[in-house]
Structures are given as structure tokens and as C-alpha cells.
Amino acid sequence: MIGTMFRSEDVPATDRFDYWRELIVRTRSNDFISTHSAEFWGELRLLELGPTTVMQTSFLPTRFRRSPRMVRQCDRELYHLTLMHDTGMALDHADGTTAFGPQDLHLVDSSRPYDFWPANGSERRVVRGVGVDIPKALLPLPPHRVRGLLNQRLPGREGIGALLTDFLTGLDRQADTLQPSDAPRMGRVVVDLLAAWIGQLLDAEAALPTETRQRALTERIRAFVQQNLHDPELTPPTIAAAHHISVSYLHRIFQQQTQGETVAAWIRGQRLEGARRDLANPDLACTSIHTVAVRWNFPRAADFARTFRAAYGLSPSEYRHQALSEGM
């Protein structure tokens, strides 16, 4: 497991707001104001992925204000990206006020003042979102190009924006299984997806380094495969055609980004992992092993049993029995 987890109920009521605020201040230097500070509720998972920080957070309405004086006193030269899961927050900035809704993304610059506030601050209504803090120097695009995207509602529902949104949301689900050695790699993925998304918005993808574009493309391919694992026609030619690249280029970039693993081997591993999860799911205990195997594109029982044992050390039936017994 990586990162720091905070739940307000684990802290005395009088200390909750201050404790939560101190965790966020590790990367975001703001004033924090909440009408709910005396009875604060919040949850926060802070993932430090190399120089990049990701915060998965839920909290009662709170105002985040960075004043000109705070900018002068301390500027860590960061971009702050926020993904909103809920409505009810707005941003005051030099050019006016911008309101945000579910799945909206917005980018602010730590070198500029801003005021991010709850539109209905008196309501006891939980706000959920994801924050990303990334050093400006890591983003391979000049600040004057990025400036035009600051403080706006930015799309996170399609293209690379959707991929970035899904990856950030999924990090919370993966955090309990990630190891410290995974952190730098996950941080690079966040930077690459953010850079590719901004490059797409600015029509400046050609200005990105080749490695950044290749790593972002690899993540797009991974997401495409995950969405189509049940399709028996999911093959390298199908994947290449969907991404407008040649099969040879697909194999080359995939092996470069996965320490030599082939596309077919990765697909097989993901399908096998899906079958393992189904076998351990008590809601599917009455589903036959053969049905589970076929669902994950293992039509031959003998092949499935052999492959499963090689991966997990048990036959599918032995694994199911053990997993369901432990869950009782």
C-alpha cells in the first residue's frame, strides 16, 4: 500500500478540520475556511507518486483561497488539476468566476491567486473530487501555451480527457495493492496523460516528446483492451486498427512500455485475472467454472485449468473453494 489515508472519524472531533487541512498543505498552500469546521467530516487519500501528488478526497464544503500575499511568500511552481465528482464549487480568478459540475476538470497555477469556494457553503453536502499537483517543470509544454487553459471548465468525458479521468478515479481502487516501487511509474503515467490531454486541447500534440506520446498511447491501448476483454475478436490487428497504427508499431511500443510483454500475453493475463475475480465472487458461486471461463474467452476447459494453475498455483475449483471459504 502507498500513500496516507485520513478519515475524520479516526481523529477527535476538535482536531478533524486542522488535521485534514495539514495533509493538503503538504502540496497546496491555501487558506482553508469552512462553516463546518467545528463538526467537520472528510476523507482523504494522499498518494505521493514521485514528484507528483494525487489526492482522492471527500469533504464538507470548504473554501480554498490562495491570496496574492501567499503567492509572494511561497510558490512551489505547481499546476493544480482538479477533477470534480459533484456540483457546487466555483472558482474566482483574475478573469471572472467559473462554476464546475460533475466530471469537469480545471487547472490552476500556484503562481496566480485564486479562490475556490462552495456555491452552497452553508449546506451540509459532501463534495467529492480528485486533486493532482504536478511541478510545472515536468509538463513538456511552455507555460505561455498552458496559460490559455487555466481556470476554465475543461472536458473530461471523451478522448484523452476521459482516459485521464478514469485513471485518476481508478487510482483510489488500486492504492491498497500498489507498492512503493510502483509510485514513480504511476506518477509518470499521470504526467504523460496530463501532457497528452493538454496537448490535445491546444492542438499541440506534435510538440510533445516522442516518449510522452508513446506512453500516453500505451495507456489508451490498455484502456481499450480493458473495455473489450469479453470480445473474442480482440486481437492485435483489431487494436492497431482502432488506434490508426500498424500492428508492428503496436507491438514495438507495447513491449517498450511493458518490459517486453507482448500484447497477446497481456490480454491473456487480464482475462485470467477477470476469471480469478469472478471465481472469488460469492455472488457468482452458483455459476459454473466453465461459464466463467467462456465469459473470459477460455472456451476449452483443459486449457483454462492449465493456464490458471500455472498463474495461481491452484486449479480453478481449488481456488474458488479456498477464496469462498476465507470470505465466509
- Check which CATH number belongs to the domain holding 72 and give it: 2.60.120.10
CA distance 306 to 131: 44
Whether 4 and 46 have beta carbons less than 8 Å apart is answered as yes
Where does 73-215 show beta strands of DSSP type E? 78-84, 89-93, 96-100, 105-109, 114-118, 127-135
Are residues 149 and 30 part of one domain? yes
The pLDDT, as a whole number, for residue 64 is 92
Are residues 168 and 272 part of one domain? no
Amino acid at 30: N
221 inside domain = no
The pLDDT, as a whole number, for residue 109 is 94
What's the total number of domains in the chain?
A: 2
The pLDDT, as a whole number, for residue 328 is 54
Residue 33: enclosing H or E segment and its boundaries?
strand 31-33
pTM comes to: 0.81
Whether 279 and 316 have beta carbons less than 8 Å apart is answered as yes
95 inside domain = yes
37 inside domain = yes
Are residues 168 and 49 part of one domain? yes
The phi-psi region of residue 297 (left if phi > 0; otherwise alpha if psi is between -120 and 50; otherwise beta) is left
Each of the 328 residues of the chain gets a pLDDT tens digit; together they read 567 888 999 989 899 999 998 888 888 888 999 989 989 999 999 898 989 999 999 999 999 999 999 999 989 999 999 998 877 789 998 888 998 888 889 999 999 999 999 877 667 888 899 999 999 999 999 899 999 899 999 888 888 888 899 899 888 777 777 778 888 888 999 999 999 999 999 988 888 888 888 888 988 898 899 999 999 999 999 999 999 999 999 998 888 877 778 899 999 999 999 999 999 999 999 999 999 999 999 999 999 999 999 999 999 999 999 988 876 5
Are residues 156 and 20 part of one domain? yes
- Rg value, the chain, Cα: 22
223 inside domain = no
Domain that holds residue 69: 4-173
Nearest to residue 62, comparing CAs of 40, 86, 93, 79?
40
Nearest to residue 79, comparing CAs of 98, 106, 99, 42?
106
The pLDDT, as a whole number, for residue 240 is 93
Are residues 169 and 26 part of one domain? yes
Boundary of a domain, candidates 158, 173, 188: 173
Nearest to residue 111, comparing CAs of 85, 84, 80, 140?
80
Boundary of a domain, candidates 141, 173, 205: 173
The pLDDT, as a whole number, for residue 158 is 81
